Chain A
Amino acid sequence: MANMATILQQARRSLAIARKDIRIYYAKGPVIIFGVLLPTFLFLAFIMGRHFSADFAIPGLLGMSLFFAATAISPVVVPWEGQARTLERLVSCPVMIETIILGDILASFAFGLGISLVPIILGFSLGITISSPFILAVAIILAALCFAALGNIFSIPPTNLPANIMMIASVVKFPVVFISGIFISLDQLSTWGQAVAYISPLTYFTDIARYSIQGQAHLPIGIDFLALVGFTVLFLVVAMRMHQNTMPKRI
Chain B
Amino acid sequence: MPGVESNNNLAIEVNDLTKRYGQLIAVDHISFAVKKGELFGFLGPNGAGKTTTVRILTGVIRADGGRASISGHAVGSLKAKQMAGVVPEMANAYVDLSGWDNLMIMAELYGISTSMARERSSNLLQDLGLLPRKDSLVKTYSKGMKQRLILCMALLSDPEVLFLDEPTSGLDVQSARLIKDLLRRLNKAGSTIFLTTHYMDEANELCDKVAIINKGKIVAIDAPEKLRLATSAMHSVEISFADTTNPEDLAKLPGVNTVNKVGDKYRLYTADPGDLVVSLVNYSRSVGLKIVSLNILAPSLEDAFVALTGKEEKGG
Contact = CB atoms under 8 A, between A and B. Distances in A.
Contacts of B150: 89
B88 A92 contact: yes
Q: How large is the interface on B (under 10, 10 to 19, 20 to 34, 35 or more residues)?
A: 20 to 34
A85 B92 contact: yes
Contact of B97 (A9, A24, A90, A92): A24
Contacts of A50: none
A93 interface: yes
Interface in A3-35: 6, 9, 12-13, 16-17, 20, 23-24
Contacts of A84: 92, 94-95
B81 interface: yes
Interface residues of A, number: 23
A93 B150 CA distance: 13
Given A6-B78, A16-B108, A94-B82, A248 B94 contact: no
A89 B146 CA distance: 13
Contact of A13 (B60, B97, B109): B109
Given A23-B97, A94-B109, A89 B59 contact: no
B58 interface: yes
A251 B165 CA distance: 14
A132 interface: no
Nearest to A16: B108
B153 A12 contact: no
Contact of A92 (B81, B90, B93, B105): B81
B93 A93 contact: no
A94 B60 contact: no
Interface in B101-116: 101, 105-106, 108-111
Given A92-B58, A92-B81, A12 B97 contact: no
Contact of B88 (A9, A24, A85, A96): A85
A95 interface: yes
B97 A93 contact: no
A89 B94 CA distance: 10
Contacts of A86: 92-94
A88 B105 contact: no
A92 B86 contact: yes
Contacts of B84: 92
Interface in A203-251: 248, 251
A203 to B, nearest CB: 37
A92 B56 CA distance: 10
A150 to B, nearest CB: 26
B171 interface: no
Contacts of B109: 13, 16-17, 90, 93-95
15 contacts: A6-B78, A13-B111, A17-B109, A20-B97, A20-B105, A86-B92, A86-B93, A86-B94, A88-B90, A89-B93, A91-B59, A92-B58, A94-B78, A94-B110, A95-B81
The 4 residue pairs across chains A and B that have the minimum distance between CB atoms: A16-B108, A85-B92, A94-B81, A94-B82
Interface of B: 55, 58-62, 78-79, 81-82, 84, 86, 88, 90-97, 101, 105-106, 108-111, 150, 153
